[in-house]
Chains A and B, each alone.
Chain A
Amino acid sequence: MKKFLSFVLCGALAVTGVVSLAACGEKKPGLTVWGPSAQQESLTQMIAAFKEANPDITYDIAVGVCAEGDGYSMMSNDPQSGADVFAFANDQLVNLYSIGALSPLAPSTVTALKASDDLTAVESGKLGDNYYGYPYAADNGFFLYYDSSVVSAEQAKTVDGVIEACKAAGKSFIFEGTNSWYALSFAYGAGGKYTPTYDGATLKSVEVNFDQKPDGGQYSYGQLGGFQLAEILQESCTKVGDDTLIDNELTSGTFGACIRGTWKGDAIKNALGEHYAATVLPTWVGIDGETYKWYSFAGCKLFGVNGYSKHPEDAHKLAAFLSSEKMQDKRFDDNAIGPSNKKVAAQEKVQKNVAVSTMMKQISTASVIQVSMPSNYWSEADAFGQAMNKFDLNDTAESLQELVVQMVTAMKAATSTPAQ
């Protein structure tokens, strides 16, 4: 049906194209842009600005809704009829590339971007020798929000301090540790690594060391991180839940602290008022007695140009415009999106935004870049998180290591047979 519809639409498009060509012979590229629903209004304004900046060409630009996290699922329906320019989170890079939905950036553009934007953000769009995205936000990760009347700034520096404070005040600590995005954050902090290597869109190999021990250590990275996760999940003040739970706790006045990203900043700020505070993830003490950092994922958001776009050069021009310094500045003003442009990030108003500046600090001090993971990374991390939620803390370290080895074996199996 959709194919049929697209045929009809293409037919209609062709007819209008021919008619308009015959009518005036003027260049009138039709483009579609997809952006997240919260930014629709500012996106429309940005497009108006783009048209203004290019008065010699009459652009016909349509706007659609697509959250950055849905870039792949939206485009994969039919990349040929997808948007010309669309927003996506950098962890979808390989999947989008594999369906031909991304068009590479011109070498000169890449050079310019490397100078103006955060290098990590630019590199997050790199696959093979090419770059496939115009970064516009570097704010995807998580850190600690807390109520400063419950947790002191000193207590917020350690996991034990935060838990102790929440317990003492009878408040809750909200952490969605069973979710794959958070489940291995302690293991990364202990020194664990997960590196997928791609050749084009084909996964070549996965290097993963959660089952291994650091030099001279007694426990593996997975054991250290897994035990800490099990411990924190099973604390009496810990509640496992998502944004809805945070809202509930804020309304019922039992919010003590939570681990979440910038998107929740405004809601928490509004509820806590002057007691609103945020800081980088606290440190924790492993079963071996050592102190470790708690790592966040670091993700970026980019504008991609559809590889099947009918007007690729215009689409590239638009994507570059939408991710330019001016537009990132506007995006911060409108929606408090953490910029990837170095000049915008250095501004005072950005530094003053607690959530955005904490996120930037977290990314620069304790984070792993969230590259494109094969889908089984997420399901394995999810299963591990669930297992830790149920793990008996009195059980032996060996039984924990068994779970870690199972996870690692499954993660490595992502390439054990080559993609058919």
Chain B
Amino acid sequence: MEKKQKRVVTELEYLGMSGWEKFCYKFISFFKKLPTVFLHFFTATIPALALRFWDAFSGIFKKLWIAMKNGDWKTRLSFLVMGFGQFTRGQVMRGVVYLVFEILFILFMALFGAGQLALFGGPGYTETTAGGWIVDPVTGQEKYVTAAVGDNSLLVLLYGILTMIFIVAFVYAWYSNVKAAYYAQEMKEAGQRLPSAMDDLHSFADTQYHKTLLAIPLLGLVIFTIFPIIFMVFVAFTNYDMQHMPPAHLFQWVGLANFKAVFGGSLSGGTQFGMVFGRILLWTVIWAVFATFTNYLLGMVVAIMINKKGIRLKKLWRTVLIMTVAVPQFVSLLLMSQMLGDYGIINSLMQNWGLTTAPIKFLSDGTIAKVTIILVNIWIGIPYTMLMVSGILMNIPADLYESARIDGAGAFRQYFKITLPYVLHVTTPYLISNFVGNLNNFGVIYLLTGGGPTMAIAGVDGAGETDLLITWLYKLIMDKKLYGVASVISILMFLITGIISLVTYNRSASVKNEEDFM
């Protein structure tokens, strides 16, 4: 029997294939490659990552061990008294800063942080007792006893997380203190001059200037973005909802109950979160695909049409389209939602003209509303793409088209071989950010339909046919106050949008062949 040989398609052979064969070849080789890709991911990518992580992690302890082993008594005492190494080697300011930080940390933990951490999670809560009237036994008069406010689980969670962040910061400071003490010792041993307090201060305007510049933005980022995200992740594991509004009723940890609810289970209240989540996710993806690609393709078609040689009044056409951009988007959307209403001007006119007998439910029938939304979005979205693509089109060297014409390429071939690759190459990052933006396109949906009409199914708790995940989330938080479940959905949305943007962006031609059109 002949030994089965692995057939390798050479580049020449590939180029010689017909279009259909090329497609089949690509299709088959994609699936052939899949197992290898997965195998590579599990056998190479993950172990490599783990190794790198382990190296970084063990490096910390190695450095600590070396400092312990080779350090003199000054360095070794720095393990206990932060800043001691610096202090005794003449770096008074550094030493004082470390020491003050240590003292502050110990005071904070003793007076406040330890208590908050002990309460963190809830078994030790003191409940609030409501106020009420009692009859004074002596005078016989009614007297009001004021409510005794107990713990507030929201504040406990907040302070608990702050304490944990503080602990992490302290551990880091402690580590850098040991490292710096050992470094100072080595410098001294090598006979080098240690930087003085003045040198340290000057370095913030010189070698460490980036730190000075970034301090405030970084602080803002931590306070307004990172901290709320951490907080939200914690809330996802609690039963923080309408029935557990602190301080009257405290919320507790519920483990993975919220996650289970979103993945097919249900929570008290009987809402079918799993079913609703599935439906809304499906519509969100459909919406994002349509909203992104209809705008993109039609905008490009319009731009090409306007850009075509021999078209008159180019400036006029462009101006007309740009007018829709000049009106703030929310104004157009609000007007549209009024005009398209069941008894809005469009339906009234059509009925007056005898075109229809009953109002068309542009925004109040689930399926029609979905189509309407996509159409309205096309109307407000095309000008942006047109504007951008026009600029790119004008940049494509004309000689490319000329040589294509000489070689006998028709209009379609020119489009697919020159225009599309060129435009796509420049705009892929825009397409990706647009797609992710559409996944979270709150404005269009909220202003046009508000997510409505309500799904005509029992057990959806107010979720609408045209709700995107983001507008549903808004309802869950603002109307239903289901903070726990809402946090789970935010986490999922974060994962979905994050993964899509990262993967597509890294695989796009713009990143891979960065220099192609340079």
- For the complex, is A197 an interface residue (Cβ under 8 Å from B)? no
Report if A240-B147 is in contact (Cβ < 8 Å); known contacts: A98-B248, A107-B142: no
- Flag if B459 contacts A382 (CB, 8 Å): no
Contact A406 B458 (CB under 8 A): yes
B375 within 8 A of partner (CB): no
**Which size class do A's interface residues fall under?**
35 or more
In the bound complex, do residue A108 and residue B142 qualify as a contact, i.e. CB atoms below 8 Å apart? yes
Q: Which residues of chain B are near A413, meaning CB under 8 Å? A: 266, 269-270, 459
| Contact call B257/A420, Cβ cutoff below 8 A | yes
Whether B243 contacts A201 by the Cβ 8 Å rule is: yes
- Residue A301 interfacial (CB < 8 Å): no
The answer to whether A80 touches B245, judged by C-beta atoms less than 8 angstroms apart, is: no
Tell me whether B462 and A382 are in contact (CB under 8 A).
Answer: yes
A239, B149: Cβ atoms closer than 8 Å? no
> Which of B144, B245, B267, B462 is A99 in contact with, Cβ under 8 Å?
B245
Q: Are A241 and B458 in contact (CB under 8 A)?
A: no
A24 within 8 A of B: no
Question: Would B248 and A79 count as touching, CB distance under 8 A?
Answer: yes
Question: Which residue of A100, A105, A415 is within 8 Å of B247 (Cβ)?
Answer: A100
Given A99-B245, A406-B458, answer yes or no on A376-B133 (Cβ-Cβ < 8 Å). Answer: no
Contact of A307 among B147, B243, B249, B252 (CB under 8 A): B147
Task: Please tell me which one of the listed residues B144, B149, B343, B481 contacts residue A316 in the complex, with CB atoms under 8 A apart.
Answer: B144
A240-B248 contact, Cβ under 8 Å, with A376-B270, A387-B456: no
User: Does B453 contact A414, Cβ atoms closer than 8 Å?
Assistant: no
Kindly name the residue among A104, A310, A407, A420 whose own CB sees the greatest number of chain B CB atoms within 10 A.
A420
Say yes or no for B15: interface residue by CB 8 A criterion.
no
A104 touches B270 (CB 8 A): no
Does A58 make an interface contact (CB < 8 A)? Answer: no
| Residue in A79, A374, A387 whose beta carbon sits within 8 Å of that of B269 in the complex | A374
A64 to B190, CA, bound (A): 72
Interface status of B102 (Cβ within 8 A of chain A): no
Residue of A nearest to B146 (CB): A312
Tell me which residues across on chain A come within 8 A of B432, comparing CB atoms. none
Secondary structure class of chain B's binding surface, majority of residues:
loop
Which residues of B have CB within 8 Å of A307? 130-131, 147, 248
Alpha-carbon distance between A104 and B461 when the two chains are bound, in angstroms: 31
> Chain A nearest CB: distance from B276 CB in Å?
11
Say if the beta carbon of A116 comes within 8 Å of chain B.
Answer: no
Let me know if B103 is at the binding interface, CB within 8 A: no
Contact A308 B147, beta carbon cutoff 8 Å: yes
The closest CB in chain A to the CB of B365 belongs to A390
Contact pick for A376, options B254, B343, B461, CB 8 Å? B461
In Å, the complex CA distance between A302 and B335 comes to: 37
The reply to whether A106 and B142 contact each other, CB–CB distance below 8 Å, is: yes
Q: How far is the CB of B116 from chain A (nearest CB, A)?
A: 15
A262 CA to B358 CA in the complex, in Å?
Answer: 30
Query: Within 8 Å of chain B (Cβ to Cβ): is A399?
Result: no
Is B320 located at the chain interface by the 8 A CB criterion?
A: no
CB distance from A359 to the nearest CB of B (A): 26
| B481 contacts across to A, CB distance below 8 A | 76
Closest Cβ of chain B to A73, distance in Å, is 8
Collect the chain B residues with CB atoms within 8 Å of residue A107's CB. 133, 142
Query: Which residues does chain B contribute within 8 Å of A341, judged by CB atoms?
Result: none
Assess the B456–A390 pair: CB atoms within 8 A.
yes
Question: Which residues of A are found within 8 Å of B158, using beta-carbon distances?
Answer: 3
Hey, which chain B residues are within 8 Å of A3, CB to CB? Answer: 155, 158
B243, A98: Cβ atoms closer than 8 Å? yes
B364 surroundings in chain A (CB, below 8 A):
240
A245 contacts B343, C-beta separation under 8 Å: yes
Whether B268 lies near A417 (C-beta < 8 A) is: yes
Q: Please determine whether A379 and B142 come into contact, CB atoms closer than 8 angstroms.
A: no
B200 at the interface (CB under 8 A from A): no
Q: Please, which residue of chain B has its CB at the minimum distance from the CB of A234?
A: B358
* Chain A residue nearest to B246 in the complex (CB): A99
- Say yes or no: B456 contacts A386, CB within 8 Å: yes
In the complex, given contacts A106-B144, A310-B146, A420-B254, what are 15 additional A-B residue pairs having Cβ atoms less than 8 angstroms apart?
A99-B249, A307-B248, A375-B242, A376-B270, A376-B271, A383-B454, A383-B457, A383-B460, A387-B456, A407-B458, A409-B459, A410-B458, A413-B270, A417-B266, A419-B268
